[in-house]
Amino acid sequence: MTWQQIPFIRLLLPFLLGIGIYSSYGTLDLSWTLLMSCYGLLFGFAILLHLKNAPGISTVRTWGIVLSILLMHLGYLVSYAHDARNSALHLQQISNPENATYIASIDGPIKINAKSIKATLKVSTQKSGINRFKPCEGKFIAYFQLDTNSAKLQYGDLIVLQATLKEFSPPLNPKAFDSRSYYATQSIYHQSYLPSDQWKLLGHEQGNWLYQFIYKTRSSLLKILAEHLTSPNEYAVAAALLLGAKDELNKDLRNAYADTGAMHVLAVSGLHIGILIGLLAFLLSFVQRSDKKWLRIKTLILLSLLWSFALLTGASASVLRACTMFSFVIVGQLLNRKINIYNSLAASAFLLLCIDPLFLFQVGFQLSYFALVGIIYLHPRIYKRWYIEHKLGDWIWNGIALSIAAQIATLPISLYYFHQFPVFFWLSGIVVAATASIILSLGIALLCFHFVPFLGAALGYALYGFLFLMNSLIFLIQQLPGAVWEGFWLESWQMWTWYLVLISGLYLFLTRQLKWAFVPLSLGVLLFGYQAAIDYQQVEQQQLCIYNSRKSTLISYINGNNCTTWMDSTLIGNPQIQYAQQNHLWSLGVTTNELHTLNDRVEQNSFHYQNKKGQFKDQKLSLYGQEDLLMQTHTPLEVDYVLVHGNPKLKSIQQIEDVYLYKTLVFDASNSTWKIEKWIKECQDLNINFIDVSSEGAWVLDL
């Protein structure tokens, strides 16, 4: 394979570089952006003139260098044009006072939670004075108070609301999930809570007519599935697999599929598109025609159904990638062109990134392309290593080889984002390969023929049976000993370096040229050397951390690879603990975490803790709560830090001085916001050192 056979890869690489440059160093100043582009063009043509006169350099290569520079600038400018914040009317560019009045429409399907309804609102107008409105742009996440009116909201509804728009804050705990970055990939930068009395419905069907039709159709199809699949788990998996609706997936179900490496089957992707194309091609093969007119009609039918399915399932990055690539293949067959799969893949990425450069930073987009490249390149090379004559054995080995290829290609990026490795991914791959195509075929048949007496019921029973079988096997695999290894932690540069090791190692294996061995070996030495240094540092580490845990107290003492945690009794068994501290502990290489309540007594060589008082190395920490208000002592206890927790009814912050002589006060998230604001004001007036964990995030003290 030569560069001439994969021209879109040569176009894609500098385009990606331009998007990356804007993401890292982008500006909201259009004049600076245009100036940079002009300088880039002048620089490119200067290189062109120089290289054209240089001996030994071809004209084609010269123009290739200039084209790469132009594509890099195109990636930068496309990113600039797509960045909604560059508009003078965007929410980030205008004043957003408290309880401002906006007119907005619901810009996507809503999600019903336990106490609220989550929706994306697209703002069109802001009130700037008495009966005066001005146009504005932007989206924000709204959490409506759950009631009978908000439960009726749907895509396209127009509402007037009073809201205080708040930008997403950075993570309030070390290494925690960054919602700010996540929503930025969707051009969303604000959020707000809307009580029932702060919004009013103005009208319906104000959105795009196509999306209104799609959401209504999907809602109707989900009702059909709910009628035939009464079990929650089976309905949730069918809704995700067939229609891309993942709201009904509960935590246990998500964990089971994630721990077994089968999560991809719940996200509509290339697997589903490939099965759909195969099913449609099979049905159309019954038409006994081979003329060009029928070939055009067949191509049109395939493309129409393909993109209808993509829109119906939510048009996620993985679906768009698969549909775009298959569209290139289908059109290529119509034109009787030889298709290079790598070129089609690069062309689909280039097209999608021209439409929305933010796709590049979405996890689904990255995983789908890495997985497909791995399958295309590695699967045939792995599969041919073992020839099995028996058909069933050969089918099983083919599925295992497919899973191995995808796992190798996505391993670094999976460890970077999810910090775990599913050991039995190959086993779940066989389960998915055996059941997914049947489930998808039965599901499509049920949605098409549900109204036919007896046939609809029979298809429903059959679909339920295969869903139950797949779910049962996935849960069974999850229960196998050592099914998942957790705690992996990679920095971004480590992830990309491991990809360089993988690529250079494969090149060495295929070419058998030992002169290239220094590349993977040197990179491997770098990675293992860095990890050895980190491991040595972690053995010696000692930290005291007070986490930001909503309406509760959570304290950890990290000593080497061991951690001791104290918490409110209400947190025992609550996943809120993992959300607050798990990523932080993984990043520090902590392997054991011993959990205690705040009243437990714990003593070890490096610390002792009892009666809500602890000494960690040379630092003393005491907790002050509601029960300490009546405490009296003739001699205040001298400590370094006092943690005010449990929302005590302090008349004055100076009450604490009757019990403790301290250097710094710490307020955690178990206290009311208004009380913390009052205490902070008092601390500022009295020149008292304080730390506000509730708003500033977790407090970490290196000992």
Average pLDDT over residues 471-499: 90
pLDDT at 29: 56
Asked if 645 and 625 count as a contact pair (C-beta separation under 8 A), the reply is: yes
Where along the chain do its domains lie?
3-82, 100-207, 492-539, 542-702
pLDDT of residue 49: 61
pLDDT, the chain, mean: 83
Cα angle vertex 124, ends 121, 126, to 5°?
A: 105
**The dihedral sign for the CA sequence 209, 213, 214, 215:** positive
User: Which pLDDT band, with edges at 50, 70 and 90, does 308 fall under?
Assistant: confident
Buried b (16+ CB within 10 A) or exposed e, 502-520: bebbeebeeeeeeeeeebb
Averaged pLDDT, 675-695: 90
Average pLDDT over residues 153-174: 88
Residue 643's closest CA among 610, 603, 682, 614?
A: 614
What does the pLDDT look like over 439-476, one tens digit per residue?
Answer: 888 888 888 888 888 888 898 899 899 999 988 999 99
Q: What's this model's pTM, rounded to 2 decimal places?
A: 0.83
Residue 87 pLDDT: 83
Residue 462's identity, in one-letter code, is A
569: Cβ contacts below 8 Å, ≥ 6 apart: 597, 598
Helices 251-259 and 455-478: angle between axes, nearest 10 degrees:
60
pLDDT of residue 586 exceeding 90: yes
Residue of higher predicted confidence among 44 and 207: 207
| CA–CA separation, 296 and 467 (whole Å) | 37
Q: Look at the block and give the residue holding tokens 């984002």.
A: 417
Q: Which of 190-204, 289-303, 550-564 has the lowest mean pLDDT?
A: 289-303
Q: Which DSSP symbol is given to 541?
A: -
What per-residue confidence (pLDDT) applies to 143? 92
The span from the CA of 338 to the CA of 343, in Å, is 11
Round to the nearest angstrom and report the end-to-end CA distance of the chain. Answer: 57
- Give residue 220's pLDDT: 85
- pLDDT attached to residue 265: 76
At 305, the amino acid letter reads L
Amino acid at 652: S
pLDDT exceeds cutoff 60 at 409: yes
Single-letter residue type at 389: E
- pLDDT of 30 above 60: no
Identify residue 678 by its one-letter amino acid code. K
Q: Which long-range contacts (CB under 8 A, 24 or more apart) does 357-360 make?
A: 357/19, 357/22, 357/75, 357/78, 357/79, 357/82, 358/82, 358/184, 358/185, 358/186, 358/187, 359/317, 359/320, 360/16, 360/19, 360/20, 360/23
Local confidence band at 391 (pLDDT 50, 70, 90 cut-offs): confident
Q: Which of 22-31, 217-226, 326-335 has the largest mean confidence? A: 217-226
Is pLDDT above 70 for 632?
no
Q: Where are the beta strands (DSSP E) in 363-418?
A: none
Quote the pLDDT of residue 518: 84
pLDDT at 57: 53
Q: Quick: pLDDT tens for 60-84.
A: 666 667 777 788 888 888 888 888 8
Q: Distance between CA 63 and CA 82 in Å, rounded?
A: 28
Phi-psi category of 697—alpha, beta or left, where left has phi over 0 and alpha has psi -120 to 50? left
Residue type at 74 in one-letter notation: L
Q: What percent of the chain has pLDDT over 70?
A: 90
**pLDDT given at position 548:** 92
pLDDT computed for residue 74 by the predictor: 85
Q: Is the dihedral of CA 655, 661, 667, 670 positive or negative?
A: negative
What percentage of the chain has pLDDT greater than the value 90? 13
Question: What is the pLDDT at residue 381?
Answer: 87
The answer to whether residue 633 scores a pLDDT higher than 90 is: no
pLDDT in the model for residue 574: 83
Q: How far is it, in rounded angstroms, from Cα 335 to Cα 337?
A: 5
- Alpha-carbon distance of 423 to 402, in angstroms, equals 15
Question: Do strands 637-638 and 660-661 pair parallel, antiparallel, or not at all (unpaired)?
Answer: parallel
Concatenating the DSSP letter of every residue in 90-123 gives BTTTS---TTEEEEEEE-S--EE-SSEEEEEEEE
**Residue 122 backbone dihedrals phi, psi, to 5 degrees:** -105, 115
- CATH hierarchy code of domain 100-207: 2.40.50
The C-alpha R_g of the chain, in whole angstroms, comes to 29
Instruction: With CA atoms as reference, report the closest residue to 317 among 384, 264, 262.
Output: 264
Using one digit for the tens of pLDDT, what is the confidence trace for 643-684? 999 888 888 888 888 888 889 999 999 999 899 999 999 999
Give φ, ψ of 81 to 5 degrees. Answer: -65, -30
Query: In the prediction, which pLDDT does 55 show?
Result: 54
pLDDT the model gives residue 443: 85
- Confidence at residue 63, expressed as pLDDT on a 0 to 100 scale: 67
| Mean pLDDT to the nearest integer, 561-571 | 89
Instruction: Return the amino acid letter for 373.
Output: V
CA distance 440 to 403: 20
Which DSSP helix (H) or strand (E) runs through 338?
A: none
Contact predicate 688/642, CB 8 Å: no
Mean pLDDT for the stretch of residues 72-99: 84
For tokens 């195509």, name the residue.
437
Local confidence band at 634 (pLDDT 50, 70, 90 cut-offs): low
Q: Which helix (H) or strand (E) holds 420?
A: strand 420-422
